């Protein structure tokens, strides 16, 4: 029997890349590949790349430089190391990658990675293999199901892609070009995947999609189901204790989603709802299709049905032509909403996007300064939100043993890590925990037998949340 071949896969960027990497592992397991944690002893290294900002994209080339050395060292040992670039840089740059980094054997876009075995075979015959078309067939029809032990090894929390691509065309964003047009998977296919995950110990699901609440997959009744209806269906599957979804567009929040938050205790009251900017002029230039006031109204709709709901968001500072006053509108919006967490980025022009052609730029110094101010505000809100949890008793879903001996770590509804001293038997269970203190971003507490209470809602228009 041939010894197993070793596969090392490194993912950059979003949750969907993490999911795609797992599906690549499942696909290649059929070809006798087993995962290894180090690139140096691998027979195949896959970089699953991100193109969203220049920094993310450039990381690929520095990693490829390191891999060239590893490949040479392997060759000296008589081993043939193959290198593949997958993901959104592969889609955007195609054969340009091989021109810049001849060490690469295979380039494969995010819609074609089910062809990896074939592409590797082609590369083994001495050539380079590139596939960045959007194939007519749907990759999900070809990807093998993960094996039971692979699901168990990945833990109790899993991602499931329900929707892919985006038709929104925000002027700064490469996603509609790299991930393609918006496509939703049929309900029954998702239900089958989730049942299999639940049968193998998964307790928490995060439904993922570039614009997940644009979901409109075909239901068993032949009609297009919205995300809220899909969530209702998945909540019925035994074993699934928690449901989440990411990432949503404010304009696609419909009544079905609001009702799901009202009706489903399993649907966690923590929503990632990117707004990008608080200025209406910038939002229009970004082609976001909503104003700051529309966004506030969407937040209010969620809050009306679930008072303990908390939000996170994404922000871009220094979009072309953003004035100090327009940036202040972003700070004002953050102050008014009160976030539990948020990500903020300096605008990065991406080739092929309309914003990259805009001539009014913001200086690097202004961008730096704005980013610091925004992050300080967000940090203060996050820290107030976390501090407000101290002294409360909340449900925690336990995930794994912690680094400190005897400690088990889980997450609250708001994804805050919570540590308790307990037996590993509690992994996979949702149990009430009395939260006693906060160390950086982690809460420390003890298992409680008292009934659960939820942290208070964040009061809008208060910069210090929940305090």
Q: Whole-angstrom Cα distance, residue 7 to residue 40?
A: 10
Instruction: Write down the least CB distance from residue 210 to ligand SF4, Å.
Output: 4
Looking at residue 276, what DSSP letter applies?
Answer: B
403: which residues sit within 8 A by CB, 6+ positions away?
none
> Whose Cβ is closer to ligand 5AD: residue 52's or residue 158's?
52
Among 36, 178, 211, 277, binds ligand SF4 (CB under 6 A): 211
Separation of CA 440 from chain center: 23
Q: In sequence order, what are the beta bridge partners of 158?
A: 205
3-class DSSP state for residue 454?
Answer: coil
The least distance separating ligand SF4 from the CB of residue 413, rounded to whole angstroms, comes to: 25
Binding status of residue 50 toward ligand SF4 by CB under 6 A: no
Rank residues 313 and 386 by Cβ distance to ligand SF4 and give the closer one.
Answer: 313
In the list ligand 5AD, ligand SF4, none, the entry touching 350 (Cβ below 5 to 8 angstroms by class) is: ligand 5AD
Least distance in angstroms from the C-beta of 345 to ligand 5AD? 4
- Of 88, 104, 108, 166, the one binding ligand SF4 (CB under 6 A) is 166
What one-character DSSP code corresponds to residue 147?
Answer: P
By CB under 6 A, name the one of 24, 175, 230, 422 that touches ligand SF4.
175
Q: Which CB, 167 or 192, lies closer to ligand SF4? A: 167
Minimum Å gap between C-beta 212 and ligand SF4 is: 10
The SS3 call for residue 222 is: coil
Q: Does 176 bind ligand SF4 (CB under 6 A)?
A: yes
Q: 316 touches which of ligand 5AD, ligand SF4, none (CB within 5 to 8 A by kind)?
A: ligand 5AD
Alpha-carbon gap, residue 326 to 273, rounded angstroms: 20
CB-based burial label for 257 (10 Å; 0-12, 13-18, 19+): buried
- Residue 275 region, left (φ>0) first, then alpha (ψ -120 to 50), else beta? alpha
The DSSP letter of residue 224 is B
Binding mask 245-264 for ligand SF4 (x = CB under 6 A): ----x---------------
Judged by CB, which is closer to ligand SF4: 200, or 246?
246
- Residue listed under structure tokens 């420390």: 444
Nearer to ligand 5AD, 53 or 203 (CB): 53
CA distances from 368 to 20, 29, 190, 325, 375 (A): 33, 45, 42, 16, 11
> Where along the sequence are the contacts to ligand 5AD (CB under 6 A)?
52-53, 172-173, 274, 276, 314, 316, 345, 347-348, 350
Contact residues for ligand SF4, defined by CB under 6 A: 166, 168-170, 173, 175-176, 210-211, 249
């Amino acid at each position: 029997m041939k010894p197993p071949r070793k596969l090392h896969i490194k993912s950059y960027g979003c949750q969907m890349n993490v999911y795609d990497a797992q599906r690549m592992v499942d696909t290649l397991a059929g070809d006798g590949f087993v995962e290894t944690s180090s690139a140096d002893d691998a027979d195949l290294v896959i970089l699953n790349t991100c193109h969203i900002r220049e920094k993310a994209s450039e990381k690929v080339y520095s990693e490829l430089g390191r891999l060239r050395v590893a490949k040479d060292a392997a060759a000296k040992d008589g081993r043939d190391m193959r290198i593949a670039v997958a993901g959104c840089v592969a889609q955007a740059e195609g054969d340009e990658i091989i021109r810049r980094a001849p060490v690469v054997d295979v380039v494969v876009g995010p819609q074609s990675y089910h062809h990896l075995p074939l592409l590797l075979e082609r590369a083994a015959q001495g050539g380079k293999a590139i596939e960045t078309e959007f194939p007519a067939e749907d990759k999900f029809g070809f990807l093998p199901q993960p094996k039971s032990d692979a699901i168990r090894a990945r833990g109790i929390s899993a991602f499931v892609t329900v929707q892919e691509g985006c038709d929104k065309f925000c002027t700064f964003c490469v996603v509609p070009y790299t991930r393609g047009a918006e496509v939703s998977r049929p309900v029954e296919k998702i239900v089958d995947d989730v049942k299999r995950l639940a049968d193998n110990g998964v307790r928490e699901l995060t439904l993922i999609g570039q614009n997940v609440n644009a979901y409109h997959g075909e239901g068993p009744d032949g009609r297009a189901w919205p995300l809220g209806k899909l969530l209702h269906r998945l909540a019925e599957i035994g074993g699934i204790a928690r449901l989440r979804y990411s990432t949503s567009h404010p304009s696609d929040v419909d009544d079905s989603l609001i009702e799901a938050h009202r009706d489903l205790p399993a649907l966690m009251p923590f929503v990632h709802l990117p707004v990008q900017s608080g200025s209406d002029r910038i939002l229009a230039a970004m082609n976001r299709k909503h104003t700051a006031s529309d966004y506030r109204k969407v937040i209010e709709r969620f809050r009306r049905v679930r008072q303990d709901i908390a939000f996170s968001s994404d922000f871009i500072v220094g979009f072309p032509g953003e004035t100090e006053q327009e940036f202040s509108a972003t700070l004002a919006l953050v102050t008014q909403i009160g976030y539990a967490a948020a990500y903020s980025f300096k605008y990065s022009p991406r080739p092929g996007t309309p914003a990259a052609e805009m001539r009014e730029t913001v200086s690097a110094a202004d961008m730096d300064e704005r980013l610091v101010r925004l992050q300080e505000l967000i940090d203060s809100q996050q820290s107030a939100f976390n501090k407000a949890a101290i002294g409360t008793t909340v449900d925690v879903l336990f995930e794994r043993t912690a680094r400190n001996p005897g400690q088990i770590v889980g997450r609250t509804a708001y994804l805050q890590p919570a540590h308790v001293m307990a037996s590993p038997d509690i992994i996979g269970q949702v149990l009430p925990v009395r939260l006693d203190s906060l160390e950086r971003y982690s809460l420390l507490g003890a298992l409680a037998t008292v009934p659960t209470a939820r942290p208070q809602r964040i009061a809008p228009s208060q910069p210090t949340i929940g305090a």
